Amino acid sequence: MSSSYFTELAQQYIDGEWRPGTGSWDIIDFNPYDNEKLASITIATVDEVDAAYRAAERAQRAWAETNPYTRRTVFEKALRLVEDREAEITEAIIEELGGTRTKAAFELHLAKEFLREAVHLALRPEGRIVPSPIDGKENRVYRVPVGVVGVISPFNFPFLLSLKSVAPALALGNAVVLKPHQNTPVVGGTLVARLFEDAGLPAGLLNVVVTDIAEIGDAFLEHPVPKVISFTGSDRVGRHVATVCASHFKRSVLELGGNGALVVLEDADVDYAVDAAVFSRYVHQGQVCMAANRVLVDRSVAEEFTGKFVAKVRGLRAGDPRDPETVIGPVINSSQADAITGVVDQALAEGATALVRGTTTGNLVEPSVLTGVPADSPLLRQEVFGPVAFLIPFDGEEEAVRLVNDTPYGLSGAVHTADVERGVAFAKRIDTGMFHVNDATVHDEPIVPFGGEKHSGVGRLNGETMLDSFTTHKWISVQHGRSRFPF
């Protein structure tokens, strides 16, 4: 059962060895639903971070020189292990992050798809011969691994979002040091290490440090070994990561927050749009960067849409994520619960109306639906990482485009219309990295570029874009015959 994960894997994983951290305090891993203590992990210090990066550096060169057909067998085995252990990993997701069974299935389905893609990615780098203006010169351009990649993963989809950077980086010949979120150190960290250890990944290529910036400061980012930092999290932290990386001449790949909108045009299938909008806002308690914070509805269908949306939200069962009937489980911790409750209170104080007002009990935050939030409210421009929907009527397509774009974020969104090409034309006018016609706002696929514009991030993950993130170009020229020099 997964409970053994929380005893066996409550350690650091450095250079192929499971060992305790040497910090002076422990990170306590709690079940967010019942606050049961799952594990206690002595944190990693700056010395352990250094040991992890040095181990990665030592192991990487031989791995890069390993035949990619050999490398890919590790990912084939890792995929089989996830399939074999799906029941235990599901329970771990439920216990450590309060994910429902539906959410765990969604996360594991995508994790397997990304491991399948990593198998192919190992064979993807190709070199080129580039013409030269100089007679007899042969220009070879190689795609080579960057070396060592530091990965920082979030708490909401920790297994998937760790694998999403770790597996491609390894497949392309790099070594990795992974720092999972403090609230999900096992599912987002040491479980991933165990998976690759059992899949036969050579020691040192993947290291996991469970720690906190209160202990290590910026050591994970500033260390001289990693050439790329892949960070998934808030834009506030992402700005800091980008700044530190730039000052140390490192590349950063930033997958940050969102403030997505789902738009319902006057010709939309209202019942279908309601289903898409409820899923887009409330999946995993709204703790999703692609979630539809805002639901924009053409005024001509607003009354019908609102009635059906509110009815469906009232029917969402909140409670124990172990219960297969539960749709809304707990948010990750009490500070998140307090923040979400504060958003609702602030909106009501600003004059909004609660069509549904959920109660908060511990970390269990029931869904809320708000309308009449003032147009100038900062709440409409920020990310709300919880089960709160803002319903906003609009008059015509031009106003809808303006409202959707009126945010510092630009990650995902969706539009519903009977005319697909009208939807595509609408999507092209929105400043986001991703936009969906007649569907939900929450999507991820292994070969489609994933990422955002504006404060939602820099760079892309998935498919060919992994090459841009985790490899670099090297030019080697060969002069056949003799060059002529001016002196």
Is residue 289 among the annotated active site residues?
Answer: yes
pLDDT at 432: 98
pLDDT score recorded for residue 2: 64
- Predicted pLDDT of residue 3: 74
d(CA 16, CA 205): 8
- Residue 206, beta-bridge partner list: 176
Q: Say if strands 413-416 and 26-30 run parallel, antiparallel, or are unpaired.
A: unpaired
The catalytically annotated residue of 255, 366, 383, 397 is: 255
Q: Is 245 a catalytic residue?
A: no
Calpha distance 193→178 (Å, rounded): 9
What are the residues facing 409 on neighbouring strands?
454
> What CATH topology corresponds to 3-256+456-475?
Aldehyde Dehydrogenase; Chain A, domain 1 (3.40.605)
Cα–Cα distance measured from residue 430 to residue 422, given in angstroms and rounded to the nearest whole number: 13
Token look-up 């700005």 returns: 239
**pTM of the full predicted structure?**
0.98
Would you give per-residue pLDDT tens digits along the chain (487 residues)? 467 899 999 999 999 999 999 999 999 999 999 999 999 999 999 999 999 999 999 999 999 999 999 999 999 999 999 999 999 999 999 999 999 999 999 999 999 999 999 999 999 999 999 999 999 999 999 999 999 999 999 999 999 999 999 999 999 999 999 999 999 999 999 999 999 999 999 999 999 999 999 999 999 999 999 999 999 999 999 999 999 999 999 999 999 999 999 999 999 999 999 999 999 999 999 999 999 999 999 999 999 999 999 999 999 999 999 999 999 999 999 999 999 999 999 999 999 999 999 999 999 999 999 999 999 999 999 999 999 999 999 999 999 999 999 999 999 999 999 999 999 999 999 999 999 999 999 999 999 999 999 999 999 999 999 999 999 999 999 999 999 999 9
Task: Name the superfamily (CATH) of residues 260-437.
Answer: Aldehyde Dehydrogenase; Chain A, domain 2 (3.40.309.10)
Domain ranges for the chain, please list them.
3-256+456-475, 260-437
Determine which one of 48, 95, 289, 366 is catalytic: 289
Q: What whole-number distance in Å separates Cα of residue 131 and Cα of residue 63?
A: 31
Q: Are 159 and 111 in contact (CB under 8 A)?
A: yes
Residues 6+ apart with CB under 8 A from 240: none
Interatomic CA distance for residues 477 and 130, integer angstroms: 10
